[in-house]
Chains A and B, each alone.
Chain A
């Protein structure tokens, strides 16, 4: 709520400013030293306190533009070269952008916190080409299992808990084809990015029929159903689980089963022909600093930081430190790979067939 109110206020202020200096706008834009960031709305980089902080430290003013899908972001980079400085990238899209020449190599010597970043994320082949980094790993998260610490006092350790007859009719599941296939692949011991035996995946999903109480589709819905006692264990996102626990005071535990879980990570990149490359490096460095991250996670709730020191600086009971801070946990994750349109369609059809058997 507060995030929303704040962004609306900011938007109003921006609109008012735009009206006031409408006449002078074109001239002001072309020579401005403003740093232009392209990101999802409400995703860290546009926290008001952070931007004020950053401006105080460096004198650089940051303005935002937003996208609602990765395709939109790529379109903006393609059609407005030289407009944006810093751009948020899900790891699966970085190499496409590199091959299209949309983003430039990072001068890692200008990122003071670079050495503190978790190497497996920082040097991932999704970010590095020909020895050059094209994105700085920023945050990461896990899609795994959340459970009621009241109803399940001993934390489960296996993904099979979702198929346990003791939990029949008490499981919540996200109505999402890709995620369903990924979970079933993990449960059947397959590579979740390229499951070789789709029949096994389908059978495993069909076996959920007595287990699932209902589907959820948003964080808000998840909290409502969980609070009403509709389910006691459910698939969930790590950042959201932290928020459910902290902001909504729900008795939520989060676990990464021994079979593995679904990992994702995002990076910050610099657009080709960025107007302010030096400021862009400084802003990215601030974004991966413990100073920014600890406040973001503590006050607002955030995914895990790619900066190991930032995670370690969190309060001890913070989920991002207690659960995702364990290197053994990170080792168990499988990282989401890009999917083709054909795969998406095939997964959707499989999931729709499975759901049809649920309803019969």
Chain B
């Protein structure tokens, strides 16, 4: 009995160790180095002397340029995420409940198709569409459009999965007990699909607030956000500590938001 348990235990270790080792090497170690850098006066590369300082974290709260652009990034995240859901949810609902067989496959293919092209190519092709008579290139809305295009498939897929798993007989039962279609949707379908919506929000919101490629190419002088600001610290001024500190502040804020929302989410996801 004990031997079997040990064997099982070994099996688990053998199967999960590569993944954890990989994550430790590629995620945990670089991130730890960055946490360390974020408290230094300068990056200790090439024999440069560095001292401990919290100045970069203080700068975020005391200098307008940083907190204002952090807010601009959050605002962009809110716009892009809510518009993605607004477009994605009806599409996912139709796909899950009203389209069957081959048509569903074909429509799915169309949803996933953008994933197969390079993000940079997609963004540059938007510059051609938005230029000229459309006149949207180098505006804030060009950034929003480019990002919605990039992240819409995530929202459709996550909503679709949770909508598809809703048992149709539940809705039939509600209807036969006198619920109107709207009532059935609001009291059954929508609450039951919350896990998909939440997953979509997290998958989209987090990368959007850190995005820097789409703003830079599509946004012209509206491109300044936290993402490009962090990028400059690494590529233009060799100020890794400030870039790292700004990244971790954003990480902390996102985690705080999730923490604050968790009681509500737990209730919904049960």
Question: A177 contacts the other chain (Cβ, under 8 Å)?
Answer: yes
Q: Is the CB of A359 within 8 A of B224?
A: yes
Q: How far is the CB of B46 from chain A (nearest CB, A)?
A: 7
Q: Is the CB of B223 within 8 A of A177?
A: no
Alpha-carbon distance A359/B232, docked complex (angstroms): 17
Known: A71-B46, A355-B224. A348 touches B64 (CB 8 A): no
Q: How far is the CB of A91 from chain B (nearest CB, A)?
A: 21
Question: B229 contacts the other chain (Cβ, under 8 Å)?
Answer: yes
- For chain A, residues 225 to 278, give those with C-beta under 8 angstroms from any C-beta of chain B: 228, 230
Partner of B42, one of A341, A352, A355: A341
Q: Is the CB of A215 within 8 A of B65?
A: no
Q: Is the CB of A349 within 8 A of B63?
A: yes
Question: A213 contacts the other chain (Cβ, under 8 Å)?
Answer: yes
Question: B194 contacts the other chain (Cβ, under 8 Å)?
Answer: no
Known: A213-B138, A349-B63. A177 touches B221 (CB 8 A): no
Question: B236 contacts the other chain (Cβ, under 8 Å)?
Answer: yes
- For the complex, count residues of B whose C-beta is within 8 A of A: 26
Q: Is the CB of B69 within 8 A of A214?
A: no
Q: How far is the CB of A175 from chain B (nearest CB, A)?
A: 8
Q: Is the CB of A352 within 8 A of B224?
A: yes
Q: How far is the CB of B71 from chain A (nearest CB, A)?
A: 10
Most buried by A among B64, B223, B224, B229: B224
Question: A33 contacts the other chain (Cβ, under 8 Å)?
Answer: no
Contact with B along A160-172 (1 / 0, CB 8 A): 0000000000000
Alpha-carbon distance A212/B221, docked complex (angstroms): 7
Q: Is the CB of B236 within 8 A of A177?
A: yes
Question: A8 contacts the other chain (Cβ, under 8 Å)?
Answer: no
Q: Is the CB of B237 within 8 A of A345?
A: yes
Q: How far is the CB of A186 from chain B (nearest CB, A)?
A: 21
Residues on A with beta carbons closer than 8 Å to the beta carbon of B224 = 352, 355-356, 358-359
Residues on A with beta carbons closer than 8 Å to the beta carbon of B242 = 345
Question: B131 contacts the other chain (Cβ, under 8 Å)?
Answer: yes
Contact with B along A274-287 (1 / 0, CB 8 A): 00000000000000
Alpha-carbon distance A341/B233, docked complex (angstroms): 12
Q: Is the CB of B221 within 8 A of A215?
A: yes
Residues on A with beta carbons closer than 8 Å to the beta carbon of B68 = 356
Q: Is the CB of A214 within 8 A of B220?
A: yes
Q: Is the CB of A356 within 8 A of B69?
A: yes
Q: Is the CB of B237 within 8 A of A177?
A: yes
Question: B183 contacts the other chain (Cβ, under 8 Å)?
Answer: no
Q: How far is the CB of B134 from chain A (nearest CB, A)?
A: 13
Question: A176 contacts the other chain (Cβ, under 8 Å)?
Answer: yes
Alpha-carbon distance A345/B237, docked complex (angstroms): 6
Question: B238 contacts the other chain (Cβ, under 8 Å)?
Answer: yes
Question: A295 contacts the other chain (Cβ, under 8 Å)?
Answer: no
Residues on B with beta carbons closer than 8 Å to the beta carbon of A353 = 64-65
Q: How far is the CB of B117 from chain A (nearest CB, A)?
A: 19
Partner of A355, one of B221, B236, B239: B221
Question: B268 contacts the other chain (Cβ, under 8 Å)?
Answer: no
Q: How large is the interface on A (under 10, 10 to 19, 20 to 34, 35 or more residues)?
A: 20 to 34
Question: B72 contacts the other chain (Cβ, under 8 Å)?
Answer: yes
Q: How far is the CB of B72 from chain A (nearest CB, A)?
A: 7
Q: Is the CB of A352 within 8 A of B229?
A: yes
Q: Is the CB of B239 within 8 A of A348?
A: yes
Question: A344 contacts the other chain (Cβ, under 8 Å)?
Answer: yes
| Chain A residue with Cβ nearest B233 | A348
Known: A215-B220, A215-B223, A358-B221. A75 touches B237 (CB 8 A): no
Question: B222 contacts the other chain (Cβ, under 8 Å)?
Answer: yes
Alpha-carbon distance A212/B219, docked complex (angstroms): 12
Contact with B along A325-357 (1 / 0, CB 8 A): 000000000000000010011001100110110
| Chain A residue with Cβ nearest B140 | A359
Contact with A along B61-93 (1 / 0, CB 8 A): 001110011001000000000000000000000
Alpha-carbon distance A75/B45, docked complex (angstroms): 12
Most buried by B among A71, A209, A349, A359: A359
Contact with A along B113-139 (1 / 0, CB 8 A): 000000000000000000100000110
Residues on B with beta carbons closer than 8 Å to the beta carbon of A176 = 236
Partner of A341, one of B63, B222, B238: B238
| Chain A residue with Cβ nearest B65 | A353
Residues on B with beta carbons closer than 8 Å to the beta carbon of A356 = 64-65, 68-69, 224
Known: A215-B221, A215-B223. A359 touches B237 (CB 8 A): no
Alpha-carbon distance A214/B215, docked complex (angstroms): 12
Partner of B239, one of A71, A75, A345: A345
Alpha-carbon distance A228/B64, docked complex (angstroms): 35
Q: How far is the CB of A262 from chain B (nearest CB, A)?
A: 17
Partner of B221, one of A214, A217, A348, A349: A214
Contact with B along A132-170 (1 / 0, CB 8 A): 000000000000000000000000000000000000000
Q: Is the CB of B46 within 8 A of A75?
A: yes
| Chain B residue with Cβ nearest A71 | B46
Residues on A with beta carbons closer than 8 Å to the beta carbon of B138 = 213-214, 230
CB-CB nearest 4 A-B residue pairs: A214-B220, A355-B224, A358-B221, A353-B65
Extra contacts besides A344-B238, A352-B229 (4): CB < 8 Å: A348-B237, A352-B224, A353-B64, A356-B224
Q: Offer 10 A-B interface pairs, CB within 8 angstroms, sorted by A.
A: A75-B46, A177-B232, A212-B220, A213-B138, A213-B221, A214-B138, A214-B221, A349-B63, A352-B65, A359-B224
Interface residues, chain A, with chain B CB atoms under 8 Å away:
71, 75, 176-177, 209, 212-215, 217, 228, 230, 341, 344-345, 348-349, 352-353, 355-356, 358-359
Interface residues, chain B, with chain A CB atoms under 8 Å away:
42, 46, 63-65, 68-69, 72, 131, 137-138, 140, 216, 220-224, 229, 232-233, 236-239, 242
